[in-house]
Amino acid sequence: MVTKVPRAYTAPPPALPTISTRPRNRWWGEVLLLFAVYLMYDGVRMLVAAGHGQAFADAHHVLGLERALHLAHERAVNHAVSGLPVLGVAMSYAYATLHYVVTPVVLVWLWKRRPWQYARARTTLVAATLLGLVGFSLFPTAPPRMLPGFVDTLAKYHEWGWWSGDASAPKGLGGLTNEFAAMPSLHVGWAAWCGWQVARNTTRRLLRILAVAYPVFIFAVVIGTANHYIADAVAGLAVIVVGAGLAGAADRLRGRSPVQRVPASA
């Protein structure tokens, strides 16, 4: 009689974290999408410019609400920043530059290094921007720098940089920017989006600290340069939250399930 020797139990190999197999969008398609959003922004700019009288009335409504809530501290911060050249120049450069540099860098980083997170992150940003355009058209708001008692920091220090005296656009191109797009603040909204995406997609402590500090710094910049009200910043955060909700809902409607990601060091 042959006695069968039981085989030793061997545990199955641990499952490897999966990455979405969804094909990555072509880079030129992403560029065209973002360019289309910019064209929509430019169209809204022309519509809003025609009704600048309403923009000043809305600005006083915003300040009135902030005073009622004891939040109207913009003037003190603005005077403190504009009164010190080292702060005024530094924040002017930050306002005229970072908004247009950091956001594309984060988008490209996500597209190349975190493709499983890119699609929803991009949809969040686009949806939030479109919501911002709706805000610009329905509630055009003159920034604090256009009101009595405030100092236009970029105009005061415009000889120190490339921006013009009437906007953050390059000299001679001030008419190409929407000067009544204070509500909501997409400077703050986009900065919050950048900080959120970097913080959740890296394990590096320094990058996470910078990710948290960046939107806080941009908030100080937009208030110090008198380009936005505190209420604008709150609205900028709100459109990002709503944009994230819309992006998640769009994924669910398309039947996309969450994917696991490989922990990353960068």
Domain boundary assignment for the chain: 51-253
What pLDDT sits at residue 48? 58
Distance (Å, whole) CA 92 – CA 174: 15
What pLDDT sits at residue 151? 95
Residue 176 has pLDDT above 60, yes or no: no
Residue 7 has pLDDT above 80, yes or no: no
Residue 200 has pLDDT above 70, yes or no: yes
- From residue 79, give the alpha-carbon distance in Å to each of 74, 82, 84, 151, 259: 9, 5, 9, 7, 48
Q: What does pTM read for this prediction?
A: 0.82
Mean pLDDT of the chain: 82
Residue 33 has pLDDT above 70, yes or no: no
In the chain, pLDDT over 70 holds for what percent of residues? 72
- pLDDT interval class at 80 (50, 70, 90): very high
